[in-house]
Amino acid sequence: MSSNPFSNPWAPPFGVPPYDLIRPAHLPDAIDRGMREHNIEIAAIVNNAEPPSFVNTVEALERSGALLERALNVFSNLLSSIGSDELQAIETEFAPKLSQHASGISLDPALFGRVDMLYRQRAALGLDAPSLRLLERHHLGFIRAGAHLGAADKLRMAAISERLAVLHAEFGQNVVHDEREWHLPLVAADLDGLPDFVREGAQNAARARGHDGYTITLSRSLIEPFLTFSRRRDLRQIAYLAFIARGEHTGPHDNRRLIPEILVLRAERARLLGFKDYAAFRLADTMAATQDNVERLTGAVWSAARHAAAAERDRLLLAASADGINDRLEPWDWRHYAERVRLSEYAIDEAELKPYFVLENIQQAAFDTANRLFGLSFHAMEGLPLYHPDVRAWEVRDADGHVGVFIADNYARPGKRSGAWMSSLRDQQSLDGPVSPIILNNNNFSQGTPTLLSFDDAGTLFHEFGHALHGLLSRVRYPSQSGTSVRRDFVEFPSQIYEHWLAVPETLRRFARHHQTGTPIPDALIQRLLAARTFNQGFATIEYTASAILDMALHTHPDPATLDVAAFEREVLDRIGMPAEIGARHRPAHFQHLFAGAGYAAGYYSYLWAEVLDADGFGVFQAAGDPFDPALAARLRRILESGDTEDPMALYVAFRGEQPGIDALLRHRGLTRMTTVGC
């Protein structure tokens, strides 16, 4: 037995990584060995003397790289969840190596030749629909990587990929650096307006940094409540300006110097592949397909949201005038006065509401919803070695037995990446026998005793658990079609539609229980909560849509080498009429969706696109009069099971019965300017 845990099979029955044995020092060897083994497997495909067949080429590709994938899944998990200097050093070392490895495979002419031959013969191969789609998607992947280009252009594509890998890693590390280093110490006199749960979160954050007293960090789960409740306008300003300045401090961690180079390289890659710009390249393989379709959606939503936000601003200014603010609101004022207006108009007080949303209960609500919709049950796995004491795991079962393992890492901590995300430690597949998934949810809730969530936090937990179900319920043969391996603007549909079940009154009555008394949330409070759901949606929609529009503008810039990032941001926001009182949800220098990787580059609109689907799709359950309607749940489950075996719009239409329109989204958000736009 090797001393490196990656050299040995992982413990049955479920094969969860042995985190008690894994050390950062094990990762470089595992990744190196994984790349070597992968190259040997690719060489065996290329050098196979038999004519190309689906089995000896496409299925062989599906089987290749298992050790490398296992090592990278664990590494990515630890890097984002722990984020130590040692792990970041490994990322810096291996980002270019992994890019070289990937390019060596995707640009291999002999390998592409075999796949291309099968693609040209595909109609005569007698493949079933999932296998045919797999062949077509593999072929498209090679084309989009540049496998059809001449030798010189291939070399340039490989060099672009390698440099981008380095820049993406550096960008993400710079944001983590700023989030880890900045904090705002508070003393008792600074706590005016802060409810107990915010004070406790600030006290825990101080302890985590070895300080006494209280501190506000750049974790969204702490800074947003601070901006909401603090009556100290001066401190709100300091905190807000620090939050939006992540990644743009002059010096070695300044991301503004990285963005132009990233955009230049992406634009060059797109042109080499025959596209006018990077946005056109990315959108060609999405449901949206074209920039025009994206802009029709964002334009319609933007227009309605600006109208709503203007009315919201006027209501907030009336409240602010009581504090002597008579001219204009600042971005660090909006959340504070929105909360005061919400309390006044809807009798919804976050401090009254939050005691009913205990983390463990809301996690159980997500489990119960999955049970009622899909027949899943969740069984705690006690004593399982995991990578941090806060992390918990459950075995997932259905009527047929074991489904997979679900792991939750819910708390913010120094070094952990901000935000919330789902990842996979092992994907479901059945190519050579059943392989069950191991799925991980990360959140960044401020830890307390108990941990209390805002309604938005609870929605985040349901959102990420919707992604988790997409991975857990996958029922596909081939690994690259598993779970969330779907088009970028479809991947958010399962997560966003799942959020709707949090607001089902039956769910709230069962699981929103007061942390001290255990009494269920009163029906009157539920009614006020649901009535207030469209409150402040002009602000929320503006905040998000501005970032989506900025993303598209950055990736269609005609000459990004000359880009002054801050000036361009101001120019775009001025052009679309960005309200001065509202800031974009993500500014370029900390926009990790775009620049810490290419996952959402020219694709941040995807959340809005998916919301058209989820608002329309949940409307089917509402029309049926039963949010747990068994027939509809079975049709929804088929989407989650199918992964990338079918076209996403075909899957949606099979569930819904017709294509969606934007009206359901506007109604859901309370944006009353009704415009019909196809999706």
Active site amino acids: 464
- Phi/psi zone of residue 146: left (φ > 0), alpha (ψ -120 to 50 degrees), beta? left
Beta bridge partners of 563: none
Contacts of 477 by beta carbon, 8 Å cutoff, 6+ apart: 130, 429, 430, 431
Give kind and range of the element (H or E) at residue 404: strand 401-411
In whole angstroms, give the CA distance from residue 488 to residue 98: 22
Q: For residue 429, give both structure tokens.
A: 């597949």
What are the CA-CA distances from residue 357 to residues 71, 362, 368 (Å)?
Answer: 37, 7, 15
Would you say 94 and 35 are in contact if contact means Cβ atoms under 8 Å apart? no
The 3-state DSSP class for residue 643 equals coil
Would you say 259 and 359 are in contact if contact means Cβ atoms under 8 Å apart? no
In whole angstroms, give the CA distance from residue 250 to residue 63: 46
Beta bridge partners of 395: 379, 405
Q: For residue 239, give both structure tokens.
A: 């905190």
Beta bridge partners of 377: 397
Which letter, b or e, does each residue of 304-331 get, where b requires 16 or more Cβ atoms within 10 Å of its Cβ? bbbebbeebbebbbebbeeeebeeebbb
Contacts of 108 by beta carbon, 8 Å cutoff, 6+ apart: 42, 46, 147
DSSP-assigned letters across all residues of 326-383: -S---HHHHHHHHHHHHHHHH---HHHHGGG-BHHHHHHHHHHHHHHHH--EEEE-TT
CA 77 and chain centroid, separation: 14
In whole angstroms, give the CA distance from residue 646 to residue 639: 9
In whole angstroms, give the CA distance from residue 362 to residue 465: 11
185: preceding bond cis by omega (within 30 degrees): no
What are the CA-CA distances from residue 178 to residues 85, 142, 248, 376, 598 (Å)?
Answer: 14, 37, 9, 40, 21
The 3-state DSSP class for residue 656 equals helix
In whole angstroms, give the CA distance from residue 620 to residue 624: 6
